[in-house]
Structure 1
C-alpha cells in the first residue's frame, strides 16, 4: 500500500522540482578538459555528494575573477534561471589578487563584485554562500605554510559578515590541512608529476595551485563539512543525508 501511494505521488501532486546548486568560481573549482587530466577542480567530486533531488551545475572557469566572470556574460545566464530555493556557491580570489593578470581586481572592486553576486542571488529568492579562496601549497624553508590569500580572503569574510551570508572559510580549513600534512605529504594533493608519468605532461609538472583527484576530493569534503556545520539546508540533498 505504501509503495502504491509513493508511485501515485507524482500523478497526485506533480513531480517534485529539483533544487539547483550553482558553483561559481575559478580553476580550483572547475571542470577540466581531457588534456588537463589528472588536474581536477574540487567542484567535480563535490557534485557526486548529492542525490537525485538536486542538480549541481559547475560554471567555474579557469582564470576567472569576480570581474571577468561577469564581463564574459557567465553570471547573467545563471541569474536569469535562478529560482526560489536554489543555492549559489561563490569562490573567487585566486585571479583577482594577482596584479599582473588581466582578470585582476582592486580590493574595493573585489568587494563590490562579491556584493553583487550575493544581492543578485537573493533577488531571485535563492541562497548565496561565500567561499574563501582555497590555499596554495606555499611553505617557508622552516616548513610553515604561507597565507597567500590573506587580503582577499579577509574581504570575503568581511562581505559575508556585512551581508549576513553563510561563509565557508576554505582558505583557513585547507591551510590547516596542508600544515598538518607538511611540505612533503601535501604534494600528494597537487599536480606534481615526474617526466613521463602522465601522457598529458611528458616533461612533468609542478603545480602548487591546482589539485589532482585526491586533493580535489579532500577539498570538496572540507566544503561539505563546513556546509553541514553551518546547517545550510543544501546538505538535506546529500546522498543518504549523511546516514549509513
Structure 2
C-alpha cells in the first residue's frame, strides 16, 4: 500500500510537471459563492467548482476564492501576493467580491465604498502590469424575496464594480443581473432548488437541515457557472477555444 501511494504521488508530480510553463491560467479570486468547499460542507458548492470542468487541458483554472473573504481580507492575508508571484502575461484573473465587503458588521472584512473600489483597481492594475487580463464580476444574488419580488441586496456594491469596469475599461460580467434573472425565472418557490436548502435528516452533514439563501447547491453552482460562461462568450474574450465541446 505504501509503495502504491508513492507511485501515485510520483505520477501526480510527473503529470503536473508535464504541463507547459506557458499554459495560460484563469485565476478565480473571490468569496464563498465561488470557493471550493470542505467535505463536511457538501452539498454546498461555489460556482468555481463546476466552472473548472468547462475547459480543456490547453488552459488551467485555479480557484483561489475563499469563504468569507473581501477585497480587503484577501489582500491582507497575502493571498493576492501569492497569485502575483506566478501571474504571467496571457493569464486571466476573474475578480468577484462584494458579499463580505458590503456588510459593516463583518469586522476586518468590511470595506467602505471608496476602499472597495480602490482595492478592485489595485487588482486590475497589478494584473495588467504583467500583461495578464482582468475580468470583473458583480456579486451573485442572494435569494431574498419581499412580497414576491426579488430584492437586489448588492445594489450599491454591484454598481461600484460596474463603475470601476467603465473607468478602467475592464471586461465586466454582470453576475448580479444575470443571477437575478435566473432566480426570477425559477420564481420564489422553485428557486429554493438552486440554494443550500436541506430538510431535517436529508443529508448527514446537516442532520438538523439547512436554510441558506446565499450559497448554492450543486445545481445552483452549475447554473451560476454557466452564466459566467455566457458572459465570457458575450464579451468575446478569446477563451472560447479552450471550452470543452458540447459544454453549451
Q: TM-score, normalised by structure 2?
A: 0.90
Q: 1:8: which partner in 2?
A: none
Is the contact between residue 201 and residue 209 of structure 2 (CA under 8 Å) also seen in structure 1? yes
Which of 39, 43, 56 is the equivalent residue of 1:38? 43
Secondary structure of the 1:233 match is: coil
**1:27 lines up with 2:52 in the alignment:** no
* Distance apart, 1:16 and its partner CA: 7.8
Q: TM-score, normalised by structure 1?
A: 0.91
* Distance apart, 1:236 and its partner CA: 2.1
* Distance apart, 1:243 and its partner CA: 8.2
Which of 128, 143, 148 is the equivalent residue of 2:134? 128
Q: Distance in 1 between matches of 2:125 and 2:238?
A: 19
Q: Distance in 1 between matches of 2:232 and 2:60?
A: 17
Is the contact between residue 87 and residue 234 of structure 1 (CA under 8 Å) also seen in structure 2? no
* Distance apart, 1:184 and its partner CA: 0.6
Aligned residues: 229
**1:110 lines up with 2:124 in the alignment:** no
* Distance apart, 1:49 and its partner CA: 0.3
**1:99 lines up with 2:104 in the alignment:** yes
Which of 167, 171, 176 is the equivalent residue of 2:181? 176
Give the unaligned 5+ runs of structure 1.
1-14
* Distance apart, 1:181 and its partner CA: 1.0
Is the contact between residue 54 and residue 247 of structure 2 (CA under 8 Å) also seen in structure 1? no
Change (3 A) 1:16 1:73: closer
Provide Cα deviations, 1:30-60, integer angstroms capped at 9, x if missing partner. Answer: 0000010000000000000000001100000
Residues 126-205 of structure 1 correspond to what in structure 2 (within 5 A)? Answer: 126-141=132-147, 143-205=148-210
Q: Distance in 2 between matches of 1:217 and 1:230?
A: 20
Q: Distance in 1 between matches of 2:204 and 2:138?
A: 33
Which of 85, 91, 111 is the equivalent residue of 1:86? 91
Is the contact between residue 233 and residue 240 of structure 2 (CA under 8 Å) also seen in structure 1? yes
Is the contact between residue 195 and residue 213 of structure 2 (CA under 8 Å) also seen in structure 1? yes
Structure 1 residue runs of 4 or more that deviate by more than 3 Å after TM superposition: none
| CA RMSD, 1 decimal | 1.4
Q: 1:215: which partner in 2?
A: 220
* Distance apart, 1:180 and its partner CA: 1.5
Q: Distance in 1 between matches of 2:85 and 2:168?
A: 22
Q: 2:7: which partner in 1?
A: none
Q: 1:56: which partner in 2?
A: 61
Q: 2:125: which partner in 1?
A: 119
